[in-house]
Amino acid sequence: MLRIALPNKGRLTEGARDLLERAGLAFEMRERALQASLGENFTAIFVNARDIPEFVADGAADFGITGSDLIAESGRAVDVLLPLKFGGCRLAVAVREDSGIRDIDGVKPGARVATVFPNITRQFFQSIARDITIVPVSGAAEIAPHLGVADIIVDLVSSGSTLRMNGLIEICTVMESEAVLMTRTGATPDAVLGREARELVTALESVLRAQGKRYLMANVPRSALAEIKRVLPGLNGPTIVDVLNGGEMVAAHAVVDSSGIYRTIADLRELGAQGIVVTRIERLMP
């Protein structure tokens, strides 16, 4: 059994579970929900998202899913196998709206910086040769500038609404982050972990590739095939199939971007398409 460490609570928990389930790995909870069987080959262990890079680097888990911000903060060397397209956010420098500071050059040497990410913050200010004092906090950094505990903060932002609500503005991005699948450095799927590991990566990749794609089927006039091909580029151009007693009509099938589906359907209808069906795709392997 290979062990995979997953966040036990917080923002990444749902996303990790949902992705693994969509990849066909069913959870069977056991032992007071600290562990679960995950498919045939994996045991999921539920731990604090922050501890996951540590557990993977030490070999306590073969794989882990957590934010890339937490890997950077841990300072541990792990191999990122796959970015997972959820948990997206950025670590940013923010100041009080009424501070008058509008960019990173406005942050004076000696400034006090409250953050849950002391290591990344220290490295960032070192890289721009600014001597600051770090005020480590374990959460709610956004309140620190209002309490006089700090002048500025380095904190995670996704929509920016929390900053705005707290009268803060963002002046600089320190790093972008998203959830990733990681393994121990050197234990790449090919070298050590073997077939199950490769299968896990392939399964997750196929689910991520299918996100944002739709399968479209329509009956279209044979005479319009040249234009249909332009509207439905698909993965390798549309598949054209005969329709029994279809007369002039043939069936066109293609994988299309969901973002452009509205336009695609309108274009197809203009070309005389009928019986248009659009479905979600669970997995896509090229």
Q: How many CB atoms lie within 10 A of CB 20?
A: 24
156 touches ligand AMP by CB under 6 A: yes
Among 6, 16, 44, 70, contact with ligand AMP (rule: CB under 6 A): 70
Among 126, 133, 158, 185, contact with ligand AMP (rule: CB under 6 A): 158
Query: Of the two residues 78 and 256, which places its CB atom closer to ligand AMP in the complex?
Result: 78
Find out whether 43 and 35 touch, Cβ atoms under 8 Å.
yes
Query: Of the two residues 8 and 188, which places its CB atom closer to ligand AMP in the complex?
Result: 8
Number of residues that bind ligand AMP (CB under 6 A): 13
Which of the residues 88 through 117 are near ligand AMP (CB under 6 A)? Answer: 89
Find out whether 169 and 94 touch, Cβ atoms under 8 Å.
yes
User: Where do the DSSP E strands lie in 147-196?
Assistant: 152-157, 168-177, 179-184
Find out whether 190 and 201 touch, Cβ atoms under 8 Å.
no
Stretch that binds ligand AMP, among 9-17, 217-225, 242-250, 259-267 (CB under 6 A): 9-17
Least CB distance to ligand AMP at residue 89 (A)? 3
Least CB distance to ligand AMP at residue 115 (A)? 12
DSSP labels, 16-38:
HHHHHHHTT--EEEETTTTEEEE
The Cα–Cα gap between 27 and 193 comes to 21
Do β-strands 42-47 and 2-7 pair in parallel, antiparallel, or remain unpaired? parallel
Query: Of the two residues 9 and 198, which places its CB atom closer to ligand AMP in the complex?
Result: 9
64 touches ligand AMP by CB under 6 A: no
67 touches ligand AMP by CB under 6 A: yes
Which of the residues 218 through 277 are near ligand AMP (CB under 6 A)? Answer: none
19 touches ligand AMP by CB under 6 A: no
255: enclosing H helix or E strand: strand 249-257
Q: Which residues contact 4 (CB under 8 A, 6 or more apart)?
A: 38, 42, 43, 44, 45, 61, 62, 63, 64, 65, 200
The Cα–Cα gap between 62 and 130 comes to 38
Query: Of the two residues 69 and 205, which places its CB atom closer to ligand AMP in the complex?
Result: 69
Degrees, nearest 5: CA angle 234-20-61: 130
Query: Of the two residues 19 and 49, which places its CB atom closer to ligand AMP in the complex?
Result: 49
Residue with tokens 């070999």: 59
Taking 3-state DSSP, the helix, strand and coil percentages for the chain, each rounded to the nearest 5, stand at 35, 35, 30
The Cα–Cα gap between 212 and 50 comes to 29
Among 39, 64, 87, 238, contact with ligand AMP (rule: CB under 6 A): 87
Residue with tokens 């997206």: 88
Among 177, 183, 219, 264, contact with ligand AMP (rule: CB under 6 A): 177
Stretch that binds ligand AMP, among 3-11, 105-113, 259-267, 268-276 (CB under 6 A): 3-11
Least CB distance to ligand AMP at residue 102 (A)? 23
Among 51, 54, 62, 69, contact with ligand AMP (rule: CB under 6 A): 69
Residues that bind ligand AMP (CB under 6 A): 7, 10-12, 49, 67, 69-70, 87, 89, 156, 158, 177
